[in-house]
């Protein structure tokens, strides 16, 4: 997925990396160089709990944030398309990378 801001100016990309069991995404800059990784849980259904996707360094050695799909309750989850997400990242992260992480949240 390409992220643009303003429209027409590419600031980064989100690339889903194939893995047989774990959802993984690469956060890339405008030159398609890896900046961060997003790693999800093996089971993404989150029955009764939040589903957390860890935002990690590009070598996956350290967690620097989190994208969380927040559990909305049984009726809301079963009967609606509505979802709530939370996004945590370091305050000093480049604003363009923050925007690409927001795009990754929409992709998830």
Annotated domain spans of the chain: 2-107
- State the Cα–Cα distance between residues 55 and 93, nearest whole angstrom: 12
pLDDT < 50 regions, the chain = none
Q: Which residues contact 32 (CB under 8 A, 6 or more apart)?
A: 13
Burial-class residue 98 by CB neighbours within 10 Å (0-12, 13-18, 19+).
middle
């Amino acid at each position: 997925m390409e992220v643009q801001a303003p429209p027409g100016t590419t600031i980064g990309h989100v690339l889903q990396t194939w893995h047989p069991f774990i959802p993984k995404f690469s956060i890339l800059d405008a030159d398609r160089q890896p900046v961060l990784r997003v790693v999800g849980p093996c089971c993404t259904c989150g029955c009764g709990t939040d589903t957390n996707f860890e935002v990690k360094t590009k070598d996956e050695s350290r967690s620097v944030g989190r994208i969380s799909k927040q559990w909305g309750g049984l009726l809301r989850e079963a009967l609606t398309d509505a979802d709530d997400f939370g996004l945590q990242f370091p305050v000093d992260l480049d604003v363009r990378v923050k925007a690409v992480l927001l795009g990754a949240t929409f992709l998830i």
